[in-house]
Structure 1
Amino acid sequence: MTTEPTQAAPVLPRTFIRELAQHVGQTVRLRGMILSRRDLGGIQFVTLRDAGGAVQCVGDQLNLDLPLPESSVEIIGTVRPHPKRGGEVEVQMQAMTVIAAAAEPTPVELPKLERVHADTLLNHRAVTVRGLKERAALRVQAELLAGFRETLSGMGFTEISTPKIVEAGAEGGAGLFTVDYFGEPAYLAQSPQLYKQMMVGAFERVFEVAPVFRGESHNTSRHLTEYLSLDAELGFIDSEEDVMDAETEVLRGMLARVQERCGPELALLGAELPQVPERIPRIPLLEARATVEREFGHLVGGKDLDPEGERLLGEWAGRELGSDFVFVTKFPQAARPFYTHPDGEMDGVPVTRGFDLLLRGLEITSGGQRIHDPEMLRRSIEAYGLNPESLRAYAEVFRYGMPPHGGFAIGAERLTALLLGLSNVRMARAFPRDRTRLQP
């Protein structure tokens, strides 16, 4: 006599929360972390969070011993329409298994992070980054980066990787972090600028997504000492106008990707993406300063627009030009690095082919055409009082036929914060570094 082997019940495949709308009426297996839980006289409510979102799970007379929030659990249940929220679903729990229980309550309640001071959020960032809105901002940023790469790759650009330990600073030596490099001084890179120019000679069109380091004393809601820089450089341009046109196309691709893929995140954050005009308005710096003074009575001193001047120019551009974006062009030589191509004079002031891009009154980009003539570059290095020896490897490239070229750099965190209406750029980075913060 033979006995048939007992067949084990099939294990349900894992379903992610973002897929639940496709499984109404079906039994599913969810895995995630408890965002919140309540026990109301035998009816238990659990908000479960996984990589794709959050959903309410309801247990009726299951007598579950609910673990602490942030415990990792598995839930088996049936998907059904939410009784009070049209178009949404909930899960009727049949069973819950604790995979990894939280040992103690979280230092702050994740569903109530909006009530918590920014410093407290950052001090406990390893936990608070799990909050739904905090994750949403970083997910949007991830799609911005993917859109940056995707659009530039489609435009014939090659992604490169440049050194982050360097012998000299790209911006002339100010704000550098010094490191001990086997007994010799070296620095953390402020920018891939010099290297991406060199790589134009190899690939013509290049880009990089990488951290840069600025040892500046700023301690404001818009500055970081380490941030993610989105850099692009392209050769055979006629002027900085070609660079601005390229950035416009890139921004259009980045925002289109976010619009397509981040609908739930944008809704959660209450964010509305700006429209990128076919041609972003352009205004020379001296004219921008005059406009701010004429329209708002704000007198700008120094070499650049001050933060209030930027804000007011953004307000004017939105009102008069119908654009959240505006390029500020023709920066004076005194306000631009040594490698920026000169462009004659305006009102007796030597200007360059350098530009900034403002979004909603805040700078998100610096860019321009670079010097490609070796003799012009030599004179510029001397005029800026820089050490020619420390720039020897960079300057050498221009002796071998570099084409006219230019590029731009976007600060990923600042762009993210502006698009989503975040009041502090630190909240657009998972683990920010500023003048006073090295942990977590």
Structure 2
Amino acid sequence: MTEPQTPPQLQPHTASPQALPRTLTSELAAHEGRAVKLLGFVHARRDLGGVQFLVLRDVGGVAQCVGSGLDLPLSESSVEVTGLVKAHPKAPGGFEVQVETFRVISAATEPPPVEIPKMEWHVNPETMLDYRVVTVRGLKERAALKVQAELVAAFREHLTGSEGFTEISTPKIVSAGAEGGANLFPIDYFGHLAYLAQSPQLYKQIMVGVFERVFEVAPVYRAEEHATSRHLNEYLSLDVEMGFIEDEEDVMALENRLLAAIMERLRARCAKEFALLGAAIPEVPAHIPRITLLGARQLVAEQYGHAVGGKDLDPEGERLLSQHFLQTEGSDFVFVTKYPRAARPFYAHPELNADGSVNPDLTRGFDLLFRGIEITSGGQRIHDHAMLMESIAAYRLKPETLEGYTEVFKYGMPPHGGFAIGAERLTARLLGIGNVRYARAFPRDRHRLTP
């Protein structure tokens, strides 16, 4: 808060507070010299020699309000302020409101558990999450959620407006997992064992037979006992599936266009939020670079001396690979392709040899890395019924638990593929947020069921 250059010289306006329309703090510049009515929350307050300073927060931002004789309530109380807009170079946004009338709409009954204007994500993060009902009001917190909202809106807008997709809604209570793993949350469904859906994968494939191009925005659930900065047990999944493709290259090309459209919208609508968080919106190359998983493992071993164990890249391998492509090609994004069968679910389409025979070791699956972390998993799916049943047997799954899904492949399913983006993980990476939990309003991890 800053002191006014001169004491407030109040000039009463003729309209009553009730007659004034609401003005947002972000609109003050257009009302210089005129009376406005602000509605919002007490973000911060200070009394200096009989002059009261109030920083009012609303959906547009914050504004400094200056008056005298004001009985300011506790922080986070909701209030109404009317007054004259004056230019002030040190005030937030360059303008302040000289208070004429002040009214408490709803007073806080106790001080907030943390000082919201002084919150930082790296300071006692568990406390911030414990009191999320209040801390989510912070300027940085809501900026992250605003960016995510625009990201999701851009996802929908591009797919429906430019790519011919139809939005669908699929069950979140299912009889079996889409990926055949053990990371499922069991529930009692009227005496029967059911699960929370870990992915809409099987349903969106079925719906390719209806609309050819479909997408869904919905939560998914993973019963994984992670306790890392990049995992959630409930997250928002942006799922895409498209039919009549040649191979996984068509799917990657679609995601390339989609990401470009998302970043374009973020530039147009979220410049203020990115500036607040000190983050940069990336450029999406016209053709995101690609490298096979085998090539990626060799690259990080040869150039960085990092040996990757297991069947995938580890977090350090992802970081080093992204670093390489940023330095050599200027790309924050890189597709890692041709994943081994052991690292992909049963429905992943196998790679084909030059003679058309099935390669038993590789699939047409891919991941997309962004700034050192995986944000997408996707690929071409099996569409041939016989091949699908062979794959189910090879993965030692029970065919009877998947009958509702496999049935559709008897009826002419086209070649198809798709991908899923974790909205929180992409948001966190875009904004430089170190822990994905701060990219969700009310996160669920292995230790957190409230608030």
TM-score normalised by structure 1 residue count: 0.96
Measure, in 2, the Cα distance between the counterparts of 1:403 and 1:293. 39
8 Å CA contact 1:33–1:73 kept in 2: the answer is yes
User: Aligned AA for 1:350?
Assistant: D
Q: Residue 21 of structure 2 contacts residue 37 of structure 2 at CA under 8 Å; is this kept in 1? A: yes
1:314 corresponds to which of 308, 322, 341: 322
1:219 corresponds to 2:230: no
Matched, 1:432 2:439: no
Q: Determine which of 44, 56, 69 is the counterpart of 1:48.
A: 56
Distance 1:406 1:86 in 2: 49
Is contact 1:381-1:388 (8 Å) kept?
A: yes
What does 1:200-279 align with in structure 2 at a 5 Å threshold?
A: 200-279=208-287
Equivalent residues of 1:331, 1:352 under 8 A apart = yes
**Cα distance, 1:116 vs. partner?**
3.2
- Return the match for 1:153 from 136, 160, 168: 160
Distance 1:174 1:322 in 2: 39
After the TM superposition, list the runs of 4 or more consecutive aligned residues in structure 1 that deviate by more than 3 angstroms: 7-10
Identity of aligned residues (%): 66
Alignment of 1:96-111 (within 5 A): 96-111=102-117
What is the TM-score with the length of structure 2 in the denominator? 0.93
2:432 to 401, 421, 429: 421
Pairing of 1:167-186 with structure 2 (within 5 A) = 167-186=175-194
Counterpart in the other structure of 1:19? 27
**Deviations 1:123-171 (Å, cap 9, x if unpaired)?**
0000000000001000000000000000101110000000000000011
The answer to whether the 8 A contact 1:81-1:87 is kept is: no
Indicate which of 383, 388, 398 corresponds to 1:377: 388
In the superposition, relative to structure 1, how do residues 153 and 319 fare at CA in structure 2: closer, same or farther (>3 Å)?
A: same
Q: CA deviation at 1:259?
A: 1.0
Q: Contact 1:33–1:70 (CA<8 Å) still a contact in 2?
A: yes
Q: Is the 2:135–2:141 Cα contact (8 Å) retained in structure 1? A: yes
Match in the other structure for 2:369: 358
Using the TM superposition, give the Cα deviation of residue 84 of structure 1 relative to its aligned residue in structure 2, in angstroms: 2.6
Q: CA deviation at 1:384?
A: 0.4
The yes-or-no answer on 1:30 pairing with 2:41 is no
Is the Cα–Cα contact under 8 Å of residues 344 and 350 in structure 1 kept in the other structure?
Answer: no
Q: Which residue number corresponds to residue 144 of structure 1?
A: 151
Structure 1 CA distance for aligned equivalents of residues 32 and 105 of structure 2: 25
Code of the residue aligned with 1:379 in structure 2: it is E
Q: What letter is aligned with 1:91? A: V
Give SS of 1:176's match.
coil
Q: Does 1:299 align with 2:307?
A: yes
In 2, Cα distance between equivalents of 1:272 and 1:291: 27
Instruction: Determine the C-alpha separation between the residues in 1 that align with 2:309 and 2:92.
Output: 55
SS of equivalent residue, structure 2 residue 169: coil
Go from structure 1 to structure 2 and tell me whether the alpha carbon gap of 1:240 and 1:383 turns closer, same or farther (over 3 Å shift): same
Select 1:288's aligned residue among 282, 296, 305: 296
Contact 2:76 2:108 in 1 (8 A): yes
1:67 partner amino acid? P
Q: 1:84 aligns with which of 84, 90, 96?
A: 90
Distance (Å, rounded) in 1 between the aligned partners of 2:402 and 2:200 = 14
Q: How many residues align?
A: 431
Distance (whole Å) between structure 2 residues aligned to residue 328 and residue 396 of structure 1: 32
Match of residue 123, structure 2, among 113, 116, 124: 116
Provide the secondary structure at the position in 2 that maps to 1:305. Answer: coil
Corresponding residue for residue 135 of structure 1: 142
| CA distance, structure 1, for counterparts of residue 88 and residue 147 of structure 2 | 27
Whole-Å separation in 2 of the counterparts to 1:277 and 1:88: 37
User: Unpaired segments of 5 or more residues in structure 1?
Assistant: 1-6
AA at the equivalent of 1:245: A
**Equivalent residue in structure 2 for 1:189, among 191, 197, 221:** 197
CA-based RMSD = 1.5
Give, in whole Å, the separation in 2 of the partners of 1:81 and 1:153.
44
Distance in 2 (alpha carbons) for counterparts of 1:243 and 1:174? 28
Residues 223-281 of structure 1 deviation map (CA, whole Å, 9 limit, x = unaligned)? 00000000000001001000000001111111111110111111111110111000100
User: Hey, what's the Cα distance between the residues in 1 that align with 2:93 and 2:395?
Assistant: 62
Q: Distance in 1 between matches of 2:33 and 2:134?
A: 34
